[in-house]
Amino acid sequence: VTTLDAHLAGGRGPDAADLADLVRALAAAGVTIADELARAALIGQLGTTGDTNVQGEKVKKLDVWANDVVVAALDATGRACTLVSEEMEEIRHRPERCAGGRFAVCFDPVDGSSNLDVNGIVGTIFSVLPRRGAGADHARADALQPGTAQVAAGYIMYGPSTLLMLTTGDGVHGFTLDRAQGVWIRTHTNVRIPARGRTYSINDGNFTRWPDGVRGFVEHIRAIDVASGRPYTARYAGSLVMDVHRTLLEGGIYLYPEDAAGSGKQSTGKLRLMYECSPMGMLVESAGGAASTGRARVRELAPTSPHQRVPLLIGSLEDVRLAEEFYAARRA
């Protein structure tokens, strides 16, 4: 049995110890959040605060509460002087932490929170970037680095079990929370995503706004062709952590494309680059998969703002590459 602590102790690299402090803090925040989710209905923590966040979305009570839990856990380590969160409009920089704070952390404290009131699967997604700058104005530069700069990424999935999926650059590993013992046990070692799957995950309700490439790809995988393993089956949970986790373990593809020109309000997509697409991109690529906007590798995008949205096609290498073929209109 390998615990998270034992796994982190084996980390290599000059920042391994500091990075381990951050991961342990995020895991501890995950335990606190898991406990609160389990009893939210009992203590009136479901529902909305009445506010609207920078995304223009109704803020759930648990969104705000979980954000405070993650911020406090990261602050306590002293290892990060810059934080970006879905729940915080501005980049949060604490200059007094720059001396010991070698990282910037971007996170979505409760992703998929529309599922909270219906007891659905949600998750905490995190992305760790190395601090590059110094002085007072380095926060923005450190927060807005491309996904290839990440030194760690992962998510905590609050489901029938509480599961931490993590990469620090040397493969993808999963740790299941043993609540009775209060330890995380490595239950998934060196996760590899199948080269191709049989499942696709997309919000079909946006069909009229799909770009032609997405429409062509989806019609292709819906067609009957037994020899090439089609049709695929459809799964959509409305929770990125749930849909990506299934895709990571079983193969297939998750798509959240941009709205085709003039068809809708999400002209650059819905998902956020810094704390949804980049970390999921690092995780899935580390397992042998791919993460694309349909035309470019997500991790090579140069961020321009902390909450910017990008299209996301993520999953098995062959499935993502095939979708890109349809985007490039090389396939009809």
DSSP state of 57: P
Stretch that binds ligand P6P, among 162-170, 186-194, 238-246, 257-265 (CB under 6 A): 238-246
Q: How far is the CB of 102 from ligand P6P (least distance, A)?
A: 29
The answer to whether 270 contacts ligand P6P (rule: CB under 6 A) is: yes
Q: How far is the CB of 201 from ligand P6P (least distance, A)?
A: 8
Cβ–Cβ under 8 Å, residues 207 and 263: no
Task: Supply the DSSP string of 214-277, one letter for each residue.
Answer: HHHHHHHHHS-BGGGTBSPEE---S-HHHHHHHHHHH--EEEEPPPPTTT-S-TT-SSBIIIII
The answer to whether 239 contacts ligand P6P (rule: CB under 6 A) is: yes
Nearer to ligand P6P, 33 or 80 (CB): 33
Residue 176 burial (CB count, 10 A): 17
The answer to whether 252 contacts ligand P6P (rule: CB under 6 A) is: no
Stretch that binds ligand P6P, among 69-77, 166-174, 211-219, 235-243 (CB under 6 A): 235-243
The answer to whether 255 contacts ligand P6P (rule: CB under 6 A) is: no
The answer to whether 47 contacts ligand P6P (rule: CB under 6 A) is: no
**Which residues are CB-neighbours of 156 under 8 A, at least 6 positions away?**
26, 27, 30, 33, 34, 123, 124, 162, 163, 164, 165
The answer to whether 238 contacts ligand P6P (rule: CB under 6 A) is: yes
Q: How far is the CB of 165 from ligand P6P (least distance, A)?
A: 15
The answer to whether 120 contacts ligand P6P (rule: CB under 6 A) is: no
Helix (H) or strand (E) holding 103: strand 103-111
Cβ–Cβ under 8 Å, residues 247 and 197: yes
The answer to whether 271 contacts ligand P6P (rule: CB under 6 A) is: yes
Near ligand P6P in 198-217, by CB under 6 A:
203
The answer to whether 283 contacts ligand P6P (rule: CB under 6 A) is: no
Q: How far is the CB of 218 from ligand P6P (least distance, A)?
A: 15
Task: Measure the CA–CA gap between 28 and 170, rounded to whole angstroms.
Answer: 22
The answer to whether 111 contacts ligand P6P (rule: CB under 6 A) is: yes
254 φ/ψ angles, rounded to the nearest 5 degrees = -110, 135
The answer to whether 194 contacts ligand P6P (rule: CB under 6 A) is: no
Short-list 245, 32, 227, 35, CA closest to 157: 245
HSE, side-chain direction, 13 A CA sphere, residue 183: 11
Residue numbers at the binding site for ligand P6P (CB under 6 A): 111-112, 114, 203, 238-240, 243, 270-271
